[in-house]
Structure formats: structure tokens, C-alpha cells
Amino acid sequence: MPRLSQEVLAVADQVVAWRRHLHAHPELGFQEHETAKYVTQALREIGGLEISHPTKTSVLARLRGGGPGRVIALRADMDALPVTEETGLPFASQVPGVMHACGHDGHTAILLGAARVLSSRRQELGGEIRFIFQHSEELAPGGAQELVAAGVMDGVEMVAGQHLRSLLEVGQVALSSGPVQASADEFRIGIRGDGGHAAYPHMTVDPIAIGAELVSALQQVVSRNTDPFEALVLSVTMFHAGTAENVIPPTAELVGTVRAFRSELRSETEARMERIIRGVTQAHGADYSFEYQYGYLPVVNDERLTGIVRGALEQSLGQDALTIAAPTMGAEDFSAYQQKAPGVFFYVGAGNREKGLIHQHHHGLFAIDEDCLAIGVQAMVATADALLAVGISQ
Ligand code: NI
């Protein structure tokens, strides 16, 4: 396990207490009112910070160092999920059907811990650190783009964020340059046929049969139209139609997601999908509607900053703690900040196979090894120190 510094050990118990309170009181995206109040109160107690609320349920804390220097931002997300907690932990969710099942309670507590450590030595720091406590990462259109629009990134030169990961053992930190999380787009297909009696299918245009063909045909976009060396996911995740066993309905609706790393591939996929939808529906005499909504951009780590942060993390946590983060087709609106400034997003191990902490994020049994919290604080502090020193110490 990584060795923790004195300044991190001094806040470790507090970080666990913050995290447990947040865990017991989860709130969904855009509804983080009590969470924002709690975070604001904790930041006030830390002291030395200028606190504001760029949106209704987000919190921004600015720490101005004793001298001039870089302006950097550190980000945590604060929202929970519509998942029923099944862990039975003493600090389990007190809100039925809502749970911190992705670890954002941990992210928030870690960033508070980092704020406390860095604020305690603000006189020696040069520049400015913005601690962004973001609302709604899980719920599109996401809080990040609202915060960017509200100006939290204005003047920021570099940005960093982290995510706990239960499938990574506690003590490990994963980091890679380049694309690490995919874009996430949403599509909605309407098929308008002609309904009627199920016993007389020849007098109808059956949108269910057409929809089934469409689900299969759309698989060709990935398997036949896209370079096998390119990552692309196209999943139909909803198929709605019908009201009775003896009625062919007039319409059907298909909904799904497209994940990719390259932006041109997204528009190419949209065009290929439309061609297939048009062809299949026309072949059977049906009409269609097609909406393709562009969502979160891919998270792409800046190569230079990744090298700098990797060096800092190796020095702080030990070389053995660092591992490579394989890209995933999951999505994160941290990418919105990276449109304004180069950034780094890394993963902090939170799982522990020996203790049975092996459940995936978004699962009712999702749980973290709380030792990851202090490690997360140390990683965030080391990242902040390294970014503040960019171009100054090197
Ligand atoms: Ni998450």
C-alpha cells in the first residue's frame, strides 16, 4: 500500500466521516441541494476559500495562494443514482431508491480533503486552485457544461479529476494519456407502420417486424461499416411497441446509445444509421423518424500533463501504485472541462477482493474500501502541486 504523508493522515478520519455522511444522504442529479449545503459548510470550516454557487446545486471554492502562479482546477462530482442500496452498511443510504452507487460521495470527500490540506499551506502556494464540486454527472445533459458556461473554467490553465474504481484494487492508481472514456450519444427511432388485426397481417404494415429487422441491420454499422481497429458501440436499449396480443400496433420506438472516441466517427455513424433506417422502413412501406443527439465528448488526457502527473503520483504514492488505464466505452462529462483547458483524468483503486468488495459501479452492492479515500486525497494534492509547478520548476 502507498505510504501516506503526514498532512494526508491528519485529514484522513475527517474525509471518511464526510464520505459516510454523504453516502447516507444521496441526492440525484440536479437535486443536490442538501449535498451542496453540506459541502459549503465543510468548506467554510476549512477556511481560506472563496465559496460561490455557479449553479443551484454546485459549489466552487477558490484558493488563492500567497504569490502569483498558475490557475488550475480540480473537479469532483456529487450526484447519486436511482439504485436501491443493498449493502446493509451502518451508513447506508437513508433515501429509498437512491444510492451513491458510483462513488461520487468519495470523490466529494476526497476533494474536500485536498482543499483542507492545500488551504492549510496556502501562503506557500503560488497561483490559484479552483475546487469544482459539480452537480449531475450521471444525468444528461450533465452539470459540467453548465459550469463551463457559468465561467468556472475562465482563466484556468489546467484541470484534473479522478474517479474511484471498484474493479481496480485499493492502493493502485490508473492513468493513461490519450482517450480514456468514450463519447456518449443517444438516438431515438420512430417507426410508423399501419396497425390492424393480428389475424390479418397482410392488411397492416407491422412496425414490430420492421423494428426487429432494424435492430439486426444496425449491427452492421459496427461489424461491416467501421474499421475493426476503431472502437464503436451501437446498442439498442429500448424497444417499445404494442398494447395487446391480437393487435398489430401502428408504431414502434427504438432507443439506444452510440459510444466512440473519434468525433468524425460519430457523424459517420449517424449518417450510416439513417441510411439503414430509411432503407429498411421504405422496403416495407413504413415511415420513420430519427433523432440523433450528441452527448458527452470523449475524455482525452493531455499527453504532456499526463506525464507530469504520472511522475508526481509515482513520487508521492510509489512506483508500484501506478498502472495503465485501459480506455473504456463508459462516458464522463469531465470532457467538457477539457474543451477549455488541457486536463488529466485518472482512476483510484477502491476494490478489495479479499474483503469481497468486488461489485461494479451502479450495482446495489457497490462498496469501496475506504482506504482509497486518503490515497485519493494524496493523489489529488500531489497532482495540484505538480500542476501549479508546471513551467516553474521545470
Ligand atoms: Ni461515476
CATH of the domain at 286: 3.30.70.360
User: Which grid coordinates are listed for 381?
Assistant: 494534492
- Domain boundary (241, 275, 296) is at 296
Distance 105 CA to ligand 1 centre (A): 10
Residue 102 lies in a domain: yes
User: Which grid coordinates are listed for 265?
Assistant: 466517427
Q: Which of the 8 DSSP states describes residue 189?
A: E
Average pLDDT over residues 197-223: 98
Q: How confident is the model at residue 391 (pLDDT cuts 50, 70, 90)?
A: confident
Out of 85, 137, 157, 385, pick the active-site residue: 137
Distance 313 CA to ligand 1 centre (A): 22
Distance 278 CA to ligand 1 centre (A): 36
Out of 27, 32, 77, 79, pick the active-site residue: 79
Average pLDDT over residues 2-14: 97
For residue 141, CA distances in Å to 108, 362, 380 come to: 20, 19, 26
Claim to verify: residue 172 and residue 38 sit in the same structural domain = yes
Distance 241 CA to ligand 1 centre (A): 32
Distance 102 CA to ligand 1 centre (A): 5
- Domain boundary (249, 270, 296) is at 296
Over the chain, what is the mean pLDDT?
A: 97
Residue 1 lies in a domain: no
Claim to verify: residue 142 and residue 35 sit in the same structural domain = yes
- Domain boundary (276, 296, 316) is at 296
pLDDT given at position 392:
66
- Dist CA 128 CA 155 (whole Å): 10
How many domains is the chain built from? 2
User: Which grid coordinates are listed for 161?
Assistant: 479529476
Q: What confidence tens digit (pLDDT) does each residue in 236-257 have?
A: 999 999 999 999 999 999 999 9
- Dist CA 115 CA 47 (whole Å): 9
Distance 209 CA to ligand 1 centre (A): 37
Q: Which burial class, exposed, middle or buried, applies to 333 when counting CB atoms under 10 A from its CB (0-12, 13-18, 19+)?
A: buried
Q: In this structure, which amino acid lies at residue 88?
A: G
Range of the domain at 113: 6-180+298-388
Q: What confidence tens digit (pLDDT) does each residue in 329-361 have?
A: 999 999 999 999 999 999 999 999 999 999 999
- Dist CA 364 CA 225 (whole Å): 37
Average pLDDT over residues 77-83: 97
Residue 394 lies in a domain: no
- Dist CA 142 CA 120 (whole Å): 32
CATH of the domain at 120: 3.40.630.10
Claim to verify: residue 16 and residue 152 sit in the same structural domain = yes
pLDDT given at position 152:
98
Is residue 154 annotated as part of the catalytic site, yes or no?
Answer: no
Q: What confidence tens digit (pLDDT) does each residue in 99-110 have?
A: 999 999 999 999
Is residue 369 annotated as part of the catalytic site, yes or no?
Answer: no
Distance 163 CA to ligand 1 centre (A): 7
Claim to verify: residue 101 and residue 152 sit in the same structural domain = yes
Task: Decide if pLDDT at 394 tops 90.
Answer: no
- Dist CA 181 CA 199 (whole Å): 49
Task: Decide if pLDDT at 393 tops 80.
Answer: no
Q: What confidence tens digit (pLDDT) does each residue in 176-197 have?
A: 999 999 999 999 999 999 999 9
| Stated pTM of the model | 0.92
